[in-house]
Amino acid sequence: MTDTIVIVGAGHAGGRAAQALRQAGFAGRVVLIGEEKYPPYERPPLSKELIVTDAGLEKARLHDPAYYEQHKIELMLGAQAEAIDRAGKAVILAGGARVPYDRLMLTTGARVRKLPIPGADLPGIFYLRDFDDTQAIRARLREGVRAVVIGGGFIGLETAASARKRGAAVTVLEAADRLMGRAVAPEIGAWFAELHKRHGVDLRLGVRIKAIEGDGKVERVALDGAEPIPADLVVIGIGIVPNVELAALAGLAVENGIVVDEFGRTSDPAIFAAGDCALQPNAFTGRRLRLESYQNAQDQAMAVARNMVGEPKAYEDSLWVWSDQHDVNLQMTGVPLAYDKLVWRGDPASGAFMVFYLQNGRIVAVNTVNLGREMKPAQRLMQSRKVFDPAQLADPTLRLLKLGKE
Ligand SMILES: Cc1cc2nc3c(=O)[nH]c(=O)nc-3n(C[C@H](O)[C@H](O)[C@H](O)COP(=O)(O)OP(=O)(O)OC[C@H]3O[C@@H](n4cnc5c(N)ncnc54)[C@H](O)[C@@H]3O)c2cc1C
């Protein structure tokens, strides 16, 4: 009997997991099941160059289409896994087909959080998670079109910047009083607010949205206590929800993500999980984290795949994410939830600078703004867990690499 590994979810994590199994020399069957009709692709370009330019999906594909056949990875696309028969070790697809497994990996990712307000299903309202969403949004973004973006997080702000590049008139509506509130300090959010304004984005913070209105299609967004905003299209980016239902239905431990240990194992020893859907212990923070990032989807999935076929090794994420907005590249590492000091290095007015988030002198997070080359050395400082002198961190004449060696 051939040893079979089935992967459910043919996104970034699923595609990389299949690749890692073959790279690790696994010679059994690899079956990759995905409900989208496309082979695995990267999502970051969906809100960036794939909106701005007319580039197609080939810009974002993980692998060449021939790769899967060459590596005997059985792709089942347009196939939704509906249940897992753990006793019989099979995945059950919509329609009833059974796909037997010896070990199973869940890389089901996440879906968009929906905005529950009146009018939220009018034509002209879009969410952005997959390639079809990008195509639909891009097709409507032309010079002079009025686009309203709901949500001042990464996806909303990247979409706003891309829409400006296509010539649309863009309004961003954010309920909080700052941008990217879950990810960066208010000061960094404020710097980005100025950036968006400079690029012609009409930014409204602290707004309450009452409804989306229109006669058969989107015409305006109604606000509490303010004039309605005319709109030809609305893009909503208010976060994501992990796809945990399949795991929960199968009786696996599930919280805000499929619960896995440091090796990626779920509460069933034959089932593993990775990517946006997985909630894993993180040694650096001492907490369990469900990360929503490209790098985690890739590294965690590959590490867990290796663990499925070889000597298990605990996975530790690098806690690194980035976002591109207008002409600015923002990179972030660490978790800036609790910090008592923000240390600036470089002049924010110059457009290239970084900030350290310190807690009792230890670095808990770092942001670089158009200064990506400093990210790796900064990460090393953070991971050293040493106590640093804020004045030294702030001094751009002192090299970060050198500080780490002291
Ligand atoms: C527009 C956009 C821009 C982004 N930009 C950045 C960025 O700049 N930097 C960064 O670090 N991260 C970024 N991300 C986040 C990053 O892309 C995600 O963290 C990553 O895609 C997660 O990969 P995943 O494979 O875990 O999940 P997903 O990419 O969500 O893939 C999961 C796949 O599983 C499929 N699936 C789910 N359930 C089933 C089922 N029952 N049966 C079959 N198939 C199923 C889904 O259809 C999907 O194709 C961005 C995300 C988006 C949407």
Strand pairing of 90-93 and 81-85? antiparallel
- What is the DSSP code (8-state) at residue 251? T
Residue with CA at minimum distance from ligand 1 atom 53: 129
Q: How far apart are CA 155 and CA 220, in angstroms?
A: 21
274 pLDDT higher than 80: yes
Residue 131 beta carbon below 6 angstroms from any ligand 1 atom: no
What mean pLDDT value characterizes the chain? 97
Q: How far apart are CA 68 and CA 39, in angstroms?
A: 9
Tokens of 167: 């010539």
Chain segment 4-38, per-residue pLDDT in tens: 999 999 999 999 999 999 999 999 999 999 999 99
Atom of ligand 1 minimally distant from the CA of 324: 8
Residue 317 beta carbon below 6 angstroms from any ligand 1 atom: no
359 pLDDT higher than 90: yes
The partner residues of 259 in beta bridges, in order of sequence, read: 279
Q: How far is the CA of 110 from the centre of ligand 1 (A)?
A: 6
State the pLDDT at residue 401.
Answer: 85
Summarize the confidence of residues 70-91 as an average pLDDT. Answer: 98
Nearest to 151 by CA among 120, 178, 172: 172
User: Residues, the chain, total?
Assistant: 406
pLDDT band at 404 (very low <50, low <70, confident <90, very high): confident
Chain segment 116-127, per-residue pLDDT in tens: 999 999 999 999
Residue keyed to tokens 């400079």: 198
Classify burial at 285, counting beta carbons within 10 Å of its beta carbon; exposed 0-12, middle 13-18, buried 19 or more.
Answer: middle
State the pLDDT at residue 69.
Answer: 97
Residue 294 beta carbon below 6 angstroms from any ligand 1 atom: yes
Residue with CA at minimum distance from ligand 1 atom 7: 44
Atom of ligand 1 minimally distant from the CA of 321: 11
Residue with CA at minimum distance from ligand 1 atom 29: 11
Tokens of 384: 């050293």
Chain segment 280-313, per-residue pLDDT in tens: 999 999 999 999 999 999 999 999 999 999 999 9
Helix (H, G, I), strand (E, B) or coil at 290: coil
Residue 129 beta carbon below 6 angstroms from any ligand 1 atom: yes
405 pLDDT higher than 80: no
Tokens of 146: 């009025």
153 and 183 in contact (C-beta within 8 Å)?
yes
157 and 180 in contact (C-beta within 8 Å)?
yes
Helix (H, G, I), strand (E, B) or coil at 401: helix
Classify burial at 329, counting beta carbons within 10 Å of its beta carbon; exposed 0-12, middle 13-18, buried 19 or more.
Answer: middle
Q: How far is the CA of 278 from the centre of ligand 1 (A)?
A: 12
How far apart, in Å, are the Cα atoms of 113 and each of 110, 293, 313, 376? 9, 17, 34, 32
pLDDT band at 193 (very low <50, low <70, confident <90, very high): very high
Atom of ligand 1 minimally distant from the CA of 278: 26
The partner residues of 124 in beta bridges, in order of sequence, read: none
pLDDT band at 251 (very low <50, low <70, confident <90, very high): very high
Residue with CA at minimum distance from ligand 1 atom 6: 44
315 pLDDT higher than 90: yes
Residue 33 beta carbon below 6 angstroms from any ligand 1 atom: yes
Q: How far is the CA of 310 from the centre of ligand 1 (A)?
A: 26
Q: How far apart are CA 297 and CA 14, in angstroms?
A: 9
Q: How far is the CA of 288 from the centre of ligand 1 (A)?
A: 20
Rounded to 5 degrees, what are φ and ψ at 307?
-65, -30
Summarize the confidence of residues 169-187 as an average pLDDT. Answer: 97
State the pLDDT at residue 337.
Answer: 84
How far apart, in Å, are the Cα atoms of 295 and each of 33, 129, 181, 284, 302? 22, 17, 21, 16, 11
Atom of ligand 1 minimally distant from the CA of 11: 31
174 and 341 in contact (C-beta within 8 Å)?
no
Rounded to 5 degrees, what are φ and ψ at 375?
-70, -45
Q: Angle at which helices 294-309 and 12-23 pack, to 10 degrees?
A: 40
192 and 172 in contact (C-beta within 8 Å)?
no
pTM (predicted TM-score):
0.97
Site to probe by mutation for ligand 1, drawn from 42, 43, 75 as the one with most ligand atoms within 8 Å of Cβ, is 43
pLDDT band at 1 (very low <50, low <70, confident <90, very high): low
State the pLDDT at residue 406.
Answer: 66
How far apart, in Å, are the Cα atoms of 265 and each of 164, 253, 271, 331? 44, 11, 6, 30
Q: How far apart are CA 130 and CA 155, in angstroms?
A: 12
Whole-number percent of the chain with pLDDT over 90: 97
Q: How far is the CA of 309 from the centre of ligand 1 (A)?
A: 24
266 pLDDT higher than 80: yes
Helix (H, G, I), strand (E, B) or coil at 212: strand
Whole-number percent of the chain with pLDDT over 70: 100
State the pLDDT at residue 163.
Answer: 98
67 and 111 in contact (C-beta within 8 Å)?
no
Chain segment 215-242, per-residue pLDDT in tens: 999 999 999 999 999 999 999 999 999 9
Summarize the confidence of residues 183-189 as an average pLDDT. Answer: 97
Site to probe by mutation for ligand 1, drawn from 7, 8, 12 as the one with most ligand atoms within 8 Å of Cβ, is 12
Q: How far apart are CA 12 and CA 19, in angstroms?
A: 11
Q: How far apart are CA 238 and CA 156, in angstroms?
A: 8
Residue 128 beta carbon below 6 angstroms from any ligand 1 atom: yes
The partner residues of 133 in beta bridges, in order of sequence, read: none
Residue 236 beta carbon below 6 angstroms from any ligand 1 atom: no
Q: How far is the CA of 108 from the centre of ligand 1 (A)?
A: 8
How far apart, in Å, are the Cα atoms of 325 and each of 189, 204, 378? 12, 17, 22
Residue keyed to tokens 């602290």: 206
Chain segment 42-72, per-residue pLDDT in tens: 999 999 999 999 999 999 999 999 999 999 9
Q: How far is the CA of 42 from the centre of ligand 1 (A)?
A: 8
